[in-house]
Amino acid sequence: MNVPDTSRSRIDTMVPDRSITENTTASVQGFGNVARYAIELYIRLGGKVISVACWDQADQCSYTYRKLDGINLEELLSITDRFGGINKAKAKELGYEILPGEAWIEQDVTILIPAAMENQITGENVGKISPKVRVIAEGANGPTTPEADTKIRERNIWVIPDFLANAGGVTCSYFEQVQSNMNYFWEKDEVLGKLDQKMTAAYYAVSDLARREKLYMRDAAYATLRADDCECVARAVPASREPRPASRSGMPSKACSKSASRSPTSSTPQESRTRPSDSPIAARRSGGTDACVIPAG
């Protein structure tokens, strides 16, 4: 598999062909750290975010703030409280339309980014997704229910599942562990460069499998995860501080334990509901060596 060199952390060097994103639009649910950085990077890539939904602490409900010619991130951040809520009155003064909280999912955009809470795309509202939507990037953990997932699959919408899309944070936590074990610490650019490499390799591993085998992206992600877990049989080493090689997806491989084995990219409560029924991964310890085994489905 040929993965582009992403060792440099600058977005401009990562995606020189801006035609991929510059004619696209997005609608985002949430305005916390995940949503803000997603919006910032997406805009830098040439995309246009037309609406953002967030919780209003005073009114105890959510609103969608829409500007069809594109939101101004810095402008909205300047009127946001410590809870991530946008000041409704000031947003209106700045020319934003104030819509109901669930209106974010109804927008005629190319990309939907649910980056707030779980169970936000459901069997009840999935039919409101515009025919123009081509991609759903799950920034939140478990934002899509199984019922909605079935409809999204039928519509051939390209889904970047949560445990792939939002795995950057926990991957950086792994980097912290590596640095602590080495007692040697990297500069920020080196961390970002390594993160680019890991996340890009993981995405290409999943998307290549999905296209090659004509799989739904969520299923391809689970299949890749399952294959990576199986590889620890061949890579098993005595329990020690020996460094573990990266898995085929490019994400760091991990130690198995007596409990259920989980990947750094699988930390989502939605997993138990959307993961294929024959894919639980168990772990066992034998002769001082860790080995993964998959029960017959």
The CATH number given to 19-160 is 3.40.50.720
| Euclidean distance between the first and the last CA atom of the chain, given in angstroms as a whole number | 29
How many Cβ atoms from other residues are within 10 Å of residue 293's Cβ? Answer: 14
CA distances from 156 to 20, 105, 294 (A): 19, 17, 30
Give the model confidence (pLDDT) of 174-198 as tens digits. Answer: 999 999 999 999 999 999 999 999 9
The full set of domain ranges for the chain reads 19-160, 168-293
What kind and span of H or E run contains 130? none
**pTM beyond cutoff 0.85:** no
SS3 291: strand
Q: What is the DSSP letter of 98?
A: E
* Averaged pLDDT for residues 14-37: 81
Share of the chain above pLDDT 90, in %: 65
pLDDT band, very low/low/confident/very high, at 23 (cuts 50, 70, 90): confident
What's the pLDDT at 296?
Answer: 35
> Could you tell me which residue, 26 or 274, shows the higher pLDDT?
26
Coil/strand/helix, residue 107: coil
Q: Using one digit for the tens of pLDDT, what is the confidence trace for 35-72?
A: 999 999 999 999 999 999 999 999 999 999 999 999 99
Inter-CA distances, 136 with 29, 75, 111, 144, 230, Å: 12, 25, 6, 10, 29
Q: Smallest Cα–Cα separation from 114: which of 212, 204, 34, 10?
A: 34
Beta bridge mates, 289: 238, 286
Per-residue pLDDT tens for 110-160? 999 999 999 999 999 999 999 999 999 999 999 999 999 999 999 999 999
